[in-house]
Amino acid sequence: MTWALSSLLNNREAPWKAQQELDAHVGKDRRSPRGSTPGPLPIPHEATEDCYVSGYFVPKGTWLILNLYKIHHGPRVWPDPYEFRSERFLTTHKDIDVRGQHFELIPFGSSRGMCPGISLALQVMGLSLGSLIHAFEIIGDEPVNMEEAIGLTNLKASPLEVLVTLRVPEHV
């Protein structure tokens, strides 16, 4: 999260573009960024009475499992739902898979040594970073030092210090 935020702050246009998209699709009165659920399927729900869902009759007692991924990427709700706005991954690195299939970028390792939490990490990172960008104006006075410290993990050599101000109503 620190590295992602540092990179965004060094590219001043990127968070602004993300905020514009969040404002257009989410608004400033809600707090759930699109396509950023912790998992594609929530826990099952039971129909407590006979009902219709999308024109289908669902009798009382039927277990329902929502496909949140499909809901959050439905083209009727989101224009170009699968378009990712980061220019790097639309051009020169458009075929890179961070799940260990392409060795140009393997942040989670590969093969048997791959991080078992990769799916959770990718979803939580998107949700957390999206929520942060949506709710706060993040201000840094000067370029962020991207120097790395020596260690088992990829730590920043100097702490990230930024000023944040609320950009959505307090109740959100």
Give the predicted TM-score (pTM) of the model: 0.57
Report residue 148's pLDDT band, with 50, 70 and 90 as the boundaries: confident
**Domains: count for the chain:** 1
Share of the chain above pLDDT 90, in %: 8
Structural domain contains residue 94: yes
36, pLDDT greater than 50? no
28 and 21 Cβ atoms separated by less than 8 Å: no
Structural domain contains residue 51: no
126 and 117 Cβ atoms separated by less than 8 Å: no
Structural domain contains residue 54: no
Structural domain contains residue 136: yes
* Residue range of the domain that includes 11: 2-35+73-166
Query: What confidence score (pLDDT) does residue 39 get?
Result: 53
List the binding residues for heme.
115
Distance CA(138)–CA(32), nearest Å, equals 19
Query: What confidence score (pLDDT) does residue 24 get?
Result: 86
List the binding residues.
115
Cβ-based neighbours of 19, under 8 Å, separated by 6 or more: 133, 134, 167
Q: What would the mean pLDDT of 144-171 be, rounded to a whole number?
A: 86
